[in-house]
């Protein structure tokens, strides 16, 4: 995966970060793409939503002027991930009022990764922007993402250089996770890069070819590769509403990410078990020789119980780690769909379709 890094400077909305030139910009694949980009691509804006009634209108007010400023034809692809509030009602009214795009209603809450997969499958655009509705990802950066795409990059991802809006615990644990993931996995996932990104149709098609059910999208974005560049920004607090992730969900999310991209934990327990077995054999040999040579017995009920409990705990941990992988194999073997779509509410037709119909009528 090729990266072009922007200078991590302060990113006020009125003064976006300036790109920093690197040798990667002359990459042959990037140069070839730059000359073949369509002048007027269709832009799909993929937005997973879950109980976002307090912020969704603010999101539309912030994004529509930016999208109009691009001068491109665009569509919204909202994925209602089992909302229990009025999010779907609000979006339905907006679509009926002329908002271009569609609302995908999932049959229940399948999780954000499944919702993103549904959005990618439903997107019709030549390029797509993935963005959350909480406005912690500044919509103004879409303009710079388009500049990066026109320069030949297939992926332009937001890089959070300031996460002061998050709690100290979340910042520390996130940093630990990215370091651990990149050390264990066989891919390089940029630290503090979220789902906010622009991707080319080639990347969308590559992601749709991946069949796994346990989907860790940040890892999948990195796994498919393609020339990419980073766009640093300061992450503001939520515009309204509350976050949907708690620490337990984040822990399970991190565990899914690690087990999806590395089998090293299984190898660690294999080598750990071999080391413990050799150490136990060596200690038994030492005790035997000690008795034969010095005639000293081996009392010590307490030490025996401590050793027994310690190694029993090690065994349970190793079995639990194996169980995590077996559970994922079980889920994959069932071949259940990643999500179930219960309804699609279409909005205003794209300008492309309207112009095509007009042309047919006049011919």
Model pLDDT for residues 135-177, shown as the tens digit of each residue: 888 898 999 999 888 888 898 988 877 666 556 666 666 667 6
Q: Which strands make up the sheet holding 73-80, listed edge to edge?
A: 228-234, 155-162, 193-200, 127-130, 42-49, 73-80, 101-106, 341-346
Query: Residue 350's pLDDT is what?
Result: 42
pLDDT digits (tens, 9 = 90+) for 296-310: 665 665 567 567 767
pLDDT band per the 50, 70, 90 thresholds, residue 352: very low
- Dihedral sign (CA 236, 237, 239, 245): positive
Q: What is the mean pLDDT of residues 240-263?
A: 60
The radius of gyration of the chain's CA atoms, rounded to the nearest angstrom, is 26
pLDDT at 48: 92
Residue 248's pLDDT is: 61
- pLDDT attached to residue 172: 67
**Measured between alpha carbons, how far is 214 from 332 in angstroms, rounded to an integer?**
8
Contact 138, 236 (CB under 8 A): yes
Q: What is the pTM of this model?
A: 0.68
Query: pLDDT grade, residue 362 (50/70/90)?
Result: very low
Q: What's the pLDDT tens digit per position in 1-40?
A: 444 444 433 333 434 444 433 334 457 888 888 788 888 8
* Residues paired with 100 in a beta bridge: 348
Nearest to 52 by CA among 240, 197, 196, 250: 240
User: For all residues of the chain together, what is the average pLDDT?
Assistant: 75
pLDDT at position 119 = 92
- Cα dist. 113→24, 117, 219, 349 in Å? 30, 6, 11, 27
Of residues 196 and 26, more confidence is placed in 196
For residue 53 the two structure tokens come to: 């009634």
CA dist 318 and 339 (Å) reads 32
């Amino acid at each position: 995966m090729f990266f072009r890094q922007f200078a991590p400077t302060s990113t006020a909305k009125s003064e976006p970060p300036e790109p920093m030139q690197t040798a990667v910009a002359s990459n042959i694949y990037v140069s070839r793409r730059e000359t073949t980009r369509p002048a007027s691509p269709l832009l799909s804006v993929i937005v997973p939503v879950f109980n976002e009634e307090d912020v969704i209108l603010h999101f539309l007010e912030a994004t529509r002027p930016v999208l109009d400023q691009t001068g491109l034809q665009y569509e919204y692809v909202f994925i209602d991930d089992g909302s229990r509030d009025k999010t779907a009602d609000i979006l339905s009214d907006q679509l009926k009022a002329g908002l271009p795009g569609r609302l995908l209603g999932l049959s229940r809450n399948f999780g954000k990764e499944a919702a993103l997969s549904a959005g990618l499958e439903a997107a019709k655009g030549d390029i797509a922007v993935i963005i959350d509705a909480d406005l912690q990802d500044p919509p103004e950066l879409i303009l710079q993402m388009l500049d990066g795409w026109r320069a030949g990059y297939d992926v332009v991802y937001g890089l959070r250089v300031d996460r002061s809006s998050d709690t100290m615990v979340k910042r520390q644990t996130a940093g630990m996770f990215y370091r651990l993931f990149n050390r264990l996995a066989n891919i390089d996932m940029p630290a503090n890069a979220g789902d906010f990104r622009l991707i080319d149709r080639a990347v969308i098609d590559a992601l749709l070819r991946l069949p796994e059910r346990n989907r860790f999208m940040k890892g999948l974005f990195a796994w498919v590769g393609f020339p990419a560049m980073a766009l640093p920004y300061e992450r503001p607090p939520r515009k309204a509403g509350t976050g949907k992730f708690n620490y337990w969900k984040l822990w399970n999310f991190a565990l899914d990410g690690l087990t999806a991209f590395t089998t090293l934990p299984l190898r660690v327990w294999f080598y750990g078990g071999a080391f413990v077995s050799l150490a136990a054999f060596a200690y038994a040999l030492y005790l035997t020789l000690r008795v034969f040579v010095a005639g000293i017995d081996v009392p010590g009920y307490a030490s025996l119980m401590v050793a027994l409990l310690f190694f029993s705990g090690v065994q349970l941990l190793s079995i639990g780690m194996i169980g995590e992988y077996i559970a994922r194999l079980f889920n994959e073997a069932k071949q259940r769909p990643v999500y179930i779509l219960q309804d699609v509410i279409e909005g205003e037709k794209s300008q492309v379709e309207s112009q095509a119909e007009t042309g047919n009528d006049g011919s």
